[in-house]
Homo-oligomer: A and B are copies of this chain.
Amino acid sequence: MTSSSFAGSSPGGSPHPYIPATEADQARMLERVGVADLDALFADLPADLRDPAIDLPPALTEPELIALLTERAAANAAPSRPNFLGAGAYRRSIPAISSHLASRSEFVTAYTPYQPEISQGTLQSGFEFQSVVCELTGMDVANVGLYDVASATAEACLLAVRFTKRQALALLEPIHPGTADVVSTYARGAGLRVDSVTSADAVSDEHACLVVQQPDFLGTIADLEPLANVAHDNGALLVAVADPFALGLLKAPGDAGADIVTGEGRDLAGAPAFGGPSLGLFAAGLPYLRQMPGRIVGRTRELHAPEHGDGEPRTGYVLTLQTREQFIRRERATSNVSTAQALIALAFTVTMQALGPRGLRESAELCYQRAHDAARRIGVLPGYETPERGPWFQEFLVRGPVPAAELNARLAERGITAGLDVSARPEPEAREALLFAVTEATPDAHIDALLEALAAIGGES
């Protein structure tokens, strides 16, 4: 720029908008510290390895940055493209206030609440979250959240192992392959055996727990009660991996005998975001409290009555039962988790509070009705069937006149992202089938477009 002449500002400015100290500031500070320059501060570093050649793209100003990433975002499929993928991530209608409130910077820019007196916002909303999760799952206690449903389920298995002193896990198929995979990852460290079972009968006294997904990976609603009984008869815990949204309609796993309930909260906090930030829900029965992983918020009071007011100590919230945790218990901690997903938990909580009991129920029913209506309309198309494995919630299998992979490809050509190809799965209903998800948030226009496309494909073949 040719503004050198211009006296709008002094030279020797700060190196970057994110770094306030100017050259003058730096000089003053260096002198006080007693070193010649910044490099001198790094004298301890091995000389021969210092300041290596590093190849990074050039720095961008904010307008350039926004332009570049707007372009990138546009290189993804347009959000308006019909997309019937579910399989663990579902588009939900999120109240506008959830993101509004969760983006209050006092929440966003705070750390884990180590100083409760100035972190009551985070702590009290964490306590609200725990309360909501307990109500939904029918459990006694919950933590403030873990990374995602899969790692939360893995932690549940480790808890069961600590509690039962057993070394094997039973996962009831169909379960989300991602969940099963993460459980195996965590199990390897602990040297556990992971048995994938197709029936609860396979549960034995070797198993620390039976893990059941609700609804299961193919969308079917499980009857948890008998499964809990089998598990308990074998001295194993029942771990239910439940969709918190479906729980607006379905029986609380706690009421069906589950000992631990995990779930994924991301979709009730905001958009799918390519899978993350996610939110692992973790709730359990009271007997398991001291074995629980993660942070827990507890209620307490002031030590001293405030100067003003009625002289009664006031109610506040703190992180509690921390002797379970890594920073105190270290290698004997119940888990290594430290940073989790607090802000996502806050948005999840607002959504639940905004919907309230009736709203959540109505929303889940709407989802159920819309999904079943779409399935019905597809099922009557010549050449299509929607094989069922029992009562289901929002996901259904579609078998078409052409092989699953081809159906997928042909829909893609027509600008529609179809369901997940599950044709390789063992379940007979999954043979040559795609797994479609339709929710309360799937636009009618997308469903109509899908039906049209399916009919056309049916016609061609």
- A93 contacts B358, CB within 8 Å? no
Q: Pick the contact of A9: B96, B357, B365 (CB < 8 A).
A: B357
Within 8 A of B (CB), among A1-57: 1-3, 6, 8-9, 13
With both beta carbons as reference points, the residue of chain B lying nearest to A6 in the complex is identified as B361
Q: How far is the CB of A81 from chain B (nearest CB, A)?
A: 13
Are A3 and B362 also in contact (CB < 8 A) when A9-B356, A443-B67 are? yes
Q: Answer whether residue A315 sits at the interface, using C-beta atoms and an 8 A cutoff.
A: no
Q: Answer whether residue A366 sits at the interface, using C-beta atoms and an 8 A cutoff.
A: yes
Q: Answer whether residue A115 sits at the interface, using C-beta atoms and an 8 A cutoff.
A: no
- Per assembly, the copies of the chain total 2
Q: How far is the CB of A354 from chain B (nearest CB, A)?
A: 8
- B358 contacts A13, CB within 8 Å? yes
- A63 contacts B441, CB within 8 Å? yes
Q: Answer whether residue A238 sits at the interface, using C-beta atoms and an 8 A cutoff.
A: no
- A95 contacts B62, CB within 8 Å? yes
Q: How far is the CB of A9 from chain B (nearest CB, A)?
A: 4
The count of chain A contact residues (Cβ–Cβ below 8 Å) is 29
Q: Pick the contact of A1: B66, B362, B443 (CB < 8 A).
A: B362
Q: How far is the CB of A59 from chain B (nearest CB, A)?
A: 16
With both beta carbons as reference points, the residue of chain B lying nearest to A65 in the complex is identified as B96
With both beta carbons as reference points, the residue of chain B lying nearest to A364 in the complex is identified as B3
Chain B residues, Cβ within 8 Å of A357: 8-9
Are A62 and B96 also in contact (CB < 8 A) when A9-B357, A67-B443 are? yes
Chain B residues, Cβ within 8 Å of A105: 100
Chain B residues, Cβ within 8 Å of A76: none
Chain B residues, Cβ within 8 Å of A75: none
Question: Per-residue 0/1 for A77-101: is the Cβ within 8 Å of any B Cβ (1 yes, 0 no)?
Answer: 0001000000000000101100010
Q: Answer whether residue A424 sits at the interface, using C-beta atoms and an 8 A cutoff.
A: no
Chain B residues, Cβ within 8 Å of A9: 356-358
- Bound CA span A360–B6, Å: 11
Question: Per-residue 0/1 for A420-448: is the Cβ within 8 Å of any B Cβ (1 yes, 0 no)?
Answer: 00000000000000000000110100000
Are A93 and B365 also in contact (CB < 8 A) when A8-B360, A80-B74, A443-B67 are? no
Pairs A-B, 4 closest by C-beta atoms? A8-B357, A9-B358, A63-B93, A9-B357
For this complex, 5 residue pairs linking A to B, each with C-beta atoms less than 8 Å apart, are A1-B361, A2-B365, A3-B362, A62-B93, A63-B441
Give A contacts to B, CB under 8 Å: 1-3, 6, 8-9, 13, 62-63, 66-67, 74, 80, 93, 95-96, 100, 105, 356-358, 360-362, 365-366, 440-441, 443
